[in-house]
Amino acid sequence: MTTRVLTGITTTGTPHLGNYAGAIRPAIQASTQPGVDAFFFLADYHALIKCDDPLRIARSRLEIAATWIAAGLDVEKVTFYRQSDIPEIPELCWMLTCVTAKGLMNRAHAYKASVDQNVAKGVEPDDGVNMGLFSYPILMAADILMFNAHKVPVGRDQIQHLEMARDIAQRFNHQYGQGHDFFVMPEAQVDDEVATLPGLDGRKMSKSYDNTIPLFEGGQKAMRAAVMRIVTDSRQPGEPKDAENSHLYALYRAFSTPTQSALFRHELEDGLGWGEAKDRLCDRIENSLAPMRERYAGLMAAPEKIEDVLQAGADKARRQSGAFMARLREAVGLRSIGGNAQAQAGGTVKKAVAKRARFVSFRDEAGQFRFRLLGADGKELLLSEPFADPKAAGAAIKHLQTNSLSELSSEQAGVVSVRMGDAVVCRFAADDLSVIDEAVATLNQD
């Protein structure tokens, strides 16, 4: 069993040290584990919700993509793409929007926080709230459900969004699944092992607190300058330091082996001066970043290479999303009027649709030869009568495929019998005729 792991980063900013250690590094690490099929993407549609500066959005997509690649992502192994290159995501978003209760969205933390702030300010509750912010969790659910992710590594603040994604998935499954689940239930993966880096002031490192240490931007110099601004207490060199409660030590740990951290801790407790401690922290960080920074600079100087990687990623992702969307459209009733699902589907989707139904031959318990017709979802649509000879079973399959089903069949008391000459090939309930006919029809266009 492979585990599909999926996560996205909103493209509004320039990656900082906290993004790297808290999200990118652990995600890349997870993607190298056996049995993991990883999907990482740039959440650029989400970016439009909070940012209306086109240059910022464009720049951020480039920087974040370059950061993932420079940090060692194996773009051949994982599926790495931009959300906005996958048209099936907004399409799914709309289908999900139509099964999502408005009341569920009213309860979303991000939306409620905006309302609370407005109320506190004495303005209209929905002042400045756009529909993107309001339905943010539905777009996020579409990101996740589109690829049927099992695990979604996120920060604690996103746990509610995952609960909503499950809620929405369940409603869709219930409404359209007819006993078959389209979506798996995704789970948030909040890893306590993963470093949440403190920022310069000791609060969580975050762009919104303006307390970040840059990752690549400004080079080693900018990184050092930021480290020098980390808040420490006033203890002098020679005085023992409280390592456990110092932000410096927390940052050091995120870039060191346990042995290196233990040593640093002892030195602090033995009175290492803060100035020198900062120098050592810079060296440790630099040790990790230097090779990546070089790759980053190379990529930023050749953005067309990044574009190529993202295009290839989008192709790979769309092979899945296109086929899945064809099934979802079918499920909600957005079908071809002529019963030919394929006629509506274009490009890559076409092949996937053609592969939908299939005949499967097998030997039954009595040693007789039979076959089944399976729908796209693997459900049995039809079971044949037994044949003594496998060739006869094969001929019967061919017969079904080359003749119109309704011409071969006769109905009696709600049961349809399909004949080949005198022999009955299969029987099924009359209600199932149109579904079976349609499945065979798509099969024949292969």
| Binding region for ligand TRP (CB under 6 A) | 6-8, 10, 43, 46, 140, 143-144, 152, 154, 158
How buried is residue 300: exposed, middle or buried, by Cβ count under 10 Å (0-12/13-18/19+)? middle
Cβ-based nearer residue to ligand TRP, 27 or 200:
27
Strand partners, 383: 372
| Distance from C-alpha of 330 to C-alpha of 301, rounded to nearest angstrom | 45
Q: Which residue, 143 or 438, is less far from ligand TRP as judged by CB?
A: 143
Nearer to ligand TRP, 136 or 369 (CB): 136
**Beta carbon nearer to ligand TRP, 92 or 393:** 92
Residue whose CB is less far from ligand TRP, 140 or 440: 140
**Shortest separation between residue 331's beta carbon and ligand TRP, angstroms:** 22
Residue 30 or 152 having the CB closest to ligand TRP: 152
Closest to ligand TRP by CB, 7 vs 60, is: 7
Q: How far is the CB of 140 from ligand TRP (least distance, A)?
A: 4
The CB-of-375 to ligand TRP minimum distance in angstroms stands at: 30
Q: How far is the CB of 10 from ligand TRP (least distance, A)?
A: 5
Spatial distance between the Cα atoms of 318 and 351, rounded to a whole number of angstroms: 12
Nearer to ligand TRP, 187 or 385 (CB): 187
Tell me the one-letter amino acid at 215: L
Tell which residue, 351, 326, 357, 358, has the closest CA to residue 341: 326
Closest CA to 390 of 420, 359, 368: 368
**φ/ψ bin of 82: left (φ > 0), alpha (ψ from -120 to 50), beta (otherwise):** beta
Q: Is the separation of the CB atoms in 230 and 251 below 8 Å?
A: yes
Beta bridge partners of 81: 41
CA atoms of 446 and 441, how far apart (whole Å): 9
Contacts from 234-243 at CB under 8 Å and sequence distance 24+? 235/274, 236/273, 237/271, 237/272, 237/273, 237/274, 237/275, 237/276, 238/271, 238/273, 239/271, 240/268, 240/269, 240/270, 240/271, 241/268, 241/269, 241/271, 241/272, 241/274, 241/277, 243/268, 243/269
For residue 151, which amino acid is it? K
